[in-house]
A = this chain, B = another copy of it.
């Protein structure tokens, strides 16, 4: 299972320490540059308000299976967290679409480091993807991301 980059992210976050813990917490605008072979695939993104961005966490530690989070005092399984460190570092972020041009999409709330490789974009659907009632260990571990 080999991935190919479909684009590249240009963001304000040049180093890990500059990157937000989660993009929804900041309002920076990032630019998704889409490579030539794929630009026909983004035309209708102008008609959606939110997209799912999958990108590659190339600075992630793929050996981590249990980890502390900013809000946990003990280690928990990575699959119950949003840690960037995990066996397949496919980062996931829901972003607000700000502007779409021929080969670029400007988005709000993306948490990616500058230069990250884009793997996929999908329309976000409130009917499919929105679960306001979802509960995570916030209550026990404060927040597990």
Using CB atoms and an 8 Å cutoff, list the residues of chain A in contact with chain B. 1-6, 22, 24, 37-38, 40-45, 47-52, 54, 56, 65-66, 76-82, 86-88, 90, 92, 94, 117, 119-138, 140-141, 143-145
Contacts and interface: CB of A to CB of B under 8 A. Distances in A.
B1 A117 contact: yes
A108 to B, nearest CB: 12
Interface of A is mostly: mixed
Contacts of A52: 92
Task: Tell me the number of copies of this protein.
Answer: 2
Contacts of A138: 125, 127
B94 A131 contact: yes
B87 A90 contact: no
